[in-house]
Chains A and B, each alone.
Chain A
Amino acid sequence: MPKNKFEFEATYKLLESKLDELKDLSVKLDCDFSNEIASVERRINQLKEERYKHLTPWEQVLLARDLERPMTRDYIKLLFTEFIELHGDRLYGDDPAIVGGVGLFCGRAVTVLGHQKGKDTPDNIIHNFGMPHPEGYRKAHRLLLEAEKFNRPVLTFINTPGAYPGTQAEERGQAWAISQLLLCLSKLKVPVISVITGEGGSGGALALTVADRILMLSNAVYSVASPETCASILFRDIKRADEMAAALKMNASALKEIGIVDEVIEEPALEPLQDSPVFIKSLKHSIKKHLDSICSQNIPELLEQRYLRLRQIGKFHE
């Protein structure tokens, strides 16, 4: 069971380092290896594409958690023409694990909320690895009511391992903060769209994912609990996490199949998401398409549909 993305990337990482050596050599010796370089590059790309097509469920989890993926603030920069961050829950503090504010998306004023992970360890310590405290949910709650007041649609970006498993989060009513957010979103009188961009972990993710439309990136995951937690609960053995990643059916295509996700946005295999204009364009286009469609509905109808959407989830026999 690989521990991180780099381990399963090892096959072509080795080739990439050899390619760099070859490039160095061609400069040093002043020889033209351009044919050889191009052919190795082609081969690496083939390998990469092939590798990404056949990821195991556990590898998908590792990829979804990758810190090189864009985080909520990156998406805001890539998709919005204006963004002003707003802070604080007006009760206790400001939670850096949830970013919130107002901005302009395709010429429309919207309220934006999302989990924020760090880019590296020091940054992650600031953002608590994207794990919100109750203040984060309460900040989101306050900003949602503000969105309702000004009749602004809401966009949420989901990327969190889950709620913070700490004593203070419990003391300040983590469960209460999450449930109140679920209740608030289920009745909010403005359109809501959620995009699952990386790791959708448990209640901490769900708290911002009660929406009229849910979009999901093709390498993102969304689950009732992390595979590690699930393995620990069911077997008291964290080493069986890879088995659980498969059993939990947590990838985008599985969730589209059971009707929890409306649309899967394909990610490019060969380049980082933030560097792919095709990917950014398709993400923007999808959000706009869904936003236009739900903004044209009247609110009582929209709320009825949001309720029915939740109400019908579940499989049982009668």
Chain B
Amino acid sequence: MFNPPYKKKNYIDLSGAKKNHPSFDSREGNFSCPSCSAWLSEAQKIQNNDFCPRCSYYFTTTAWERIYSISDENSFEEWDANLSTLNPLEFPGYEDKLAKAKEETVLSEAIITGTASIGGFKTVLAAMDARFMMGSMGSVVGEKICRAMEKAIFNSLPFIIFCCSGGARMQEGMLSLMQMAKTSAAVGRLNDAGLLYISILTHPTTGGVTASFASLADIIIAEPGALIGFTGPRVIQQTLGEKLPPGFQRSEYLLQHGMIDIVQPRLEMRSLLIRLLNVHQGGNHA
């Protein structure tokens, strides 16, 4: 079975957590919840499905975990894994960043695409991974999404994507920005073919990804508490000095403002997708 490459990094703040929560024994746990700083051991974290038992915060999960958590066993077949990123603008430091991301994540880019069945329904499935340069969209991410959508059209399959991204990738400049237009145009073809498109927005989905394919789905689902928006809250606060309302840009807030269809807990995602696929196909599935 799949063994995720966990790493102790970024989201661990030893000193702060110790101070705030003396009741949690730091010798036992090696993960601190970024939201409430509670301590969990690796075993606890896996047992809880990357979910903080204290404050219900969702730990960042990986693209592979998402794929395995919703698809039928051994049904996923990966596509276009060999597409690799270049440095077309010769942007300083890009190669180093890519190499580091590849080494840390054991991924070739910020997205995995392929085909899988979910509860017996055949689908095209894609999942982005925030650990790879913040899940940012450059040429390869855009290309893999378009190819997957085109294969969905060719095979008449529903298209499902887990979004998770900081937006367009700075290091590929305009080529990244144009991926927004490119993926949106591919959604247009998916629509013309009359195929179901479900996008699942997870923490965080911002910038050029939210403003392109992610928000163009027939059904938009979000995980609880996920940050979803165009401009990130830090930039809004910095540029305008505006105080942000509580819960701003979180899933529940977007549901209230009419931007998404459903807020669905991670553990119940698979069952919801199966129900949606079933209804979409007329409810005749055995």
Secondary structure dominating the interface of B: helix
B245, A167: Cβ atoms under 8 Å? Answer: yes
Q: How large is the interface on B (under 10, 10 to 19, 20 to 34, 35 or more residues)?
A: 35 or more
B86, A223: Cβ atoms under 8 Å? Answer: no
Most buried by A among B91, B172, B174, B259: B174
Residues in A whose Cβ lies below 8 Å from that of B245: 167
Q: Does A34 make an interface contact (CB < 8 A)?
A: no
| Smallest CB separation, B220 vs chain A (Å) | 9
- Given A173-B259, A206-B177, A222-B174, answer yes or no on A314-B231 (Cβ-Cβ < 8 Å): no
- Given A170-B248, A248-B173, A311-B182, answer yes or no on A163-B143 (Cβ-Cβ < 8 Å): no
**C-alpha gap A306/B186 in the complex (Å):** 12
Residues in B whose Cβ lies below 8 Å from that of A170: 229-231, 236, 248-249
How many A-B pairs with Cβ below 8 Å? 180
| Smallest CB separation, B170 vs chain A (Å) | 5
Secondary structure dominating the interface of A: helix
**C-alpha gap A211/B174 in the complex (Å):** 15
Residues in A whose Cβ lies below 8 Å from that of B208: 202-203, 224
Q: Does B89 make an interface contact (CB < 8 A)?
A: yes
**Stretch among B25-33, B209-217, B263-271 lining the A interface:** B209-217
| Smallest CB separation, A193 vs chain B (Å) | 15
Which residue of A173, A182, A258 is within 8 Å of B174 (Cβ)? Answer: A258
- Quick one: which of B182-234 are within 8 Å of A by CB? 182, 184-189, 191-192, 207-208, 210-216, 229-231
A165, B142: Cβ atoms under 8 Å? Answer: no
B174, A179: Cβ atoms under 8 Å? Answer: no
- Given A165-B235, A167-B245, A316-B83, answer yes or no on A250-B174 (Cβ-Cβ < 8 Å): yes
Residues in B whose Cβ lies below 8 Å from that of A260: 174, 178
Q: Which residue of B lies closest to A211 (CB)?
A: B181
**C-alpha gap A174/B257 in the complex (Å):** 12
Residues in A whose Cβ lies below 8 Å from that of B207: 203
Q: Does A19 make an interface contact (CB < 8 A)?
A: no
**C-alpha gap A172/B249 in the complex (Å):** 11
26 A-B contacts, Cβ less than 8 Å apart?
A: A165-B239, A166-B231, A166-B240, A166-B242, A169-B230, A170-B231, A174-B211, A174-B230, A175-B229, A176-B259, A178-B230, A179-B214, A182-B211, A187-B188, A206-B180, A206-B181, A223-B177, A247-B173, A248-B170, A248-B174, A249-B89, A314-B142, A314-B179, A317-B83, A317-B85, A317-B86
Per CB-CB distance, the 6 closest pairs between chain A and chain B, nearest first, are A314-B139, A186-B185, A182-B184, A175-B210, A315-B88, A165-B231
Binding site for A on B (CB under 8 A): 82-86, 88-89, 91-92, 138-140, 142-143, 146, 168-170, 172-182, 184-189, 191-192, 207-208, 210-216, 229-231, 235-236, 238-240, 242, 244-245, 248-249, 257-259
14 extra A-B contacts, CB within 8 A, seeds A182-B211, A232-B238: A167-B248, A170-B229, A175-B211, A178-B211, A183-B191, A186-B188, A224-B170, A224-B173, A225-B170, A247-B89, A260-B174, A311-B146, A313-B182, A314-B182
